[in-house]
Structure 1
């Protein structure tokens, strides 16, 4: 019954948005209330659940998106994004630029949180698309594929790191096997999938208008000699990556986990701190060092925030819907369905995570709930723990749709309709999940 209620709620949401043209933000809140009532949640808890879902979601990403938008705007307005785009095109050539975007996104994605990677890369990829006169989405899909794969499979991202701790898996082996699985999965779900997506969602690739995050990269075009050098532009854009990598390395090798040095670099390496320091650096390198007045820099910062304001509300509403599903016990119901199953632990971990992900939206919740369910099933078996981590992560990525905040982030970032988002992003996440499982099972034969 709970799964039927969720399915019915999703249908109502699609009717509200696509048939009756009610704004996405309002529609999400309406459906969150309807599902909460239908699941039998106590009336006194419904508003609190919706508010905590919205607050919890925005609390974790509002700083990152806000500061990331400012950083992207400063780099774009100074001509730094244009310089990076032109240099990449010259190095790889226009025919190979898609692969350049994939490789760059994969490398950056290892260190960057998914949301941070989006706000940093979308303005630059948008500039590349303008320079090469190719579809923005044909470069954007491979980019988000690389970011999603690294987010789901590779430590130090939160999902695989926490799951590894739950399974008592060696984090080094998770990273090693994760890279082996992630590389072919990225190529399949990135450049190869984009070719097919263009056939069944041509309107998504023909769009002339840009989405919320792409608008950050819409700046006046400069003569190349007027732009900052490639070195300083790349350093400013990559500064969050470098800072997160430094923090991660120091944290891994720091013996005293309660000491000042560990706590200091944990704070510095958090996404909010990283983005704040990166913005301060960009104010100097992309602004003051180029004799741009502070008033002009702050005007650009303000305009960048305005461009993502509605997107943040929509993402928050998506988080509210997700929280209602969690508090309404949808995950617990799915857990009961798989209780006592005798399927192979690797396939079972993927399957449970996949069903939980589709039912309640959160990849992290799906992964952690799965860990609690399959740990007893692993007792006495010789299953590879690192591969169990990867299988759980792969399952938790499948079929991102309207109850996942990532769905709304991609929709608003690229200016897609709901149908186009289903045909591109939802399918992309499914390809990542299924192909990831295939490579995990193949690797299981040899390790």
Structure 2
């Protein structure tokens, strides 16, 4: 019966978000209340669980999302993103344009959301296509796949960072393991997909009227080294923490220091503070202008933060109502891998809802009871959920429409290209999780 109630809650969530077009935050809170009531929780207990779930989910995650968004916006407004792109294209040449776009997308994608980095890089894609007469998808698809990979596989992006919090996993180890999987998987799909016959047959023209991004002059941009350092400081610090957690005893002094400096909020804060100078004052931007970038970056984050908080509320209802214990007892004898189950639930929710954030939070809440009893690494369980959430991007995903419009594709063409590549990334990501889990297990 408890699982039937959860299933009804998920169906209700689908109804609210798909035909009724409810906002994800409102829908998740309503579903959390419904499941709590049907499970027999007292009204005051339901409210306490929702409050506890939201607070527990958003504790340091608010810092991660806020600092990450600010850093990405400061990089964009300073010309650092354009500098990285221009330099790599110039060094590698047009013949290696795909490799250049892949490197750029990985560097920028670690700290920037998919949509932000996509809009920043698409003018460069159009410029290259105009100059070389290369196929638009041949150049741009590699960039999009690289950004999709980092956004879905790696913290400090919202989905992976939120699931790390739910599972109480290590952010540093999740990033380290995620990089090990994301780089080969993302590179393989990014270099393969533009060469598929079904993609090569498409030769869309550059759309008119979509470019409004500022083109920086040479003297306006920071140096290449300053731009790359700003983007990779948090990655470096979190990766060092992950390596220290693997190789050092818990009481080692260096590990204790890195647990502070390598934590995602502090790593991002350090990078942000340094960017105020090297991407701001040092290149002639006033602190007031830099602070404006920070303020502008946070506004679009509000709804993402609310949705993640509501997902935490739903998770807490499942725990406090006894559903979590029921799921754990029920699945103790199951032959199905908890990694596969987590991936499947996230995949189904993503295909149904379109929102990767809602998908990972729902899946994380459902499989949470299996995490400790599964024997699998907490970090591998995080990656199982997040790799599942990238699959089946289609017409209910805002990113799908961004991709379709900027590449000037029909809906059918966008499905053939984007839906297939996101699903391929998801499947290969799952295989990578299994392989790495066996190695570290």
TM-score by length of 2: 0.67
Q: Quote the Cα distance in structure 1 between the aligned partners of 2:102 and 2:58.
A: 28
CA deviation profile, 1:177-232 (whole Å, cap 9, x unmatched): 994x6665445666667999999xxxxx999989xxxxxxx853212332112121
Shift of 1:288: 0.9
CA deviation profile, 1:97-116 (whole Å, cap 9, x unmatched): 5554555666x69xxxxxx9
| Contact map agreement 1:353 1:392 (CA 8 A) in 2 | yes
| Contact map agreement 2:73 2:297 (CA 8 A) in 1 | yes
> Which residue of the partner structure matches residue 228 of structure 2?
234
Equivalent pairs counted in the alignment come to 389
> Which residue of the partner structure matches residue 310 of structure 2?
317
**Counterpart selection for 2:149 from 145, 148, 155:** 145
Q: Quote the Cα distance in structure 1 between the aligned partners of 2:178 and 2:399.
A: 33
> Which residue of the partner structure matches residue 119 of structure 1?
112
Q: Quote the Cα distance in structure 1 between the aligned partners of 2:233 and 2:77.
A: 18
Which ranges in structure 2 are unaligned for 5 or more consecutive residues? 127-135, 201-205, 350-358, 391-396, 405-410
> Which residue of the partner structure matches residue 292 of structure 1?
285
Shift of 1:40: 2.5
Alignment of 1:353-392 (within 5 A): 353-354=342-343, 361-362=360-361, 369-375=369-375
| Contact map agreement 1:145 1:190 (CA 8 A) in 2 | no
Provide closer, same or farther for how the CA distance between residues 190 and 318 of structure 1 changes in structure 2, counting only shifts above 3 A: farther
Secondary structure of 2:40's aligned partner: coil
Shift of 1:131: 1.6
RMSD of Structure 2 on Structure 1 (CA): 5.0
Shift of 1:46: 0.9
| Contact map agreement 1:80 1:228 (CA 8 A) in 2 | yes
| Contact map agreement 2:388 2:430 (CA 8 A) in 1 | no
Q: Quote the Cα distance in structure 2 between the aligned partners of 1:163 and 1:306.
A: 28
Shift of 1:87: 2.4
CA deviation profile, 1:112-158 (whole Å, cap 9, x unmatched): xxxx9353776444322222136888734442324544669xxxx99
TM-score by length of 1: 0.67
> Which residue of the partner structure matches residue 69 of structure 1?
69
Q: Quote the Cα distance in structure 1 between the aligned partners of 2:187 and 2:360.
A: 25
Alignment of 1:37-436 (within 5 A): 37-91=37-91, 99-100=99-100, 102=102, 117-119=110-112, 123-133=116-126, 139-146=143-150, 148-149=152-153, 179=180, 185-187=185-187, 220-250=214-244, 252=246, 254=248, 257-258=250-251, 260-341=253-334, 343=335, 348-354=337-343, 361-362=360-361, 369-375=369-375, 395-397=384-386, 399-400=388-389, 431-432=424-425, 434-436=427-429
> Which residue of the partner structure matches residue 168 of structure 1?
none
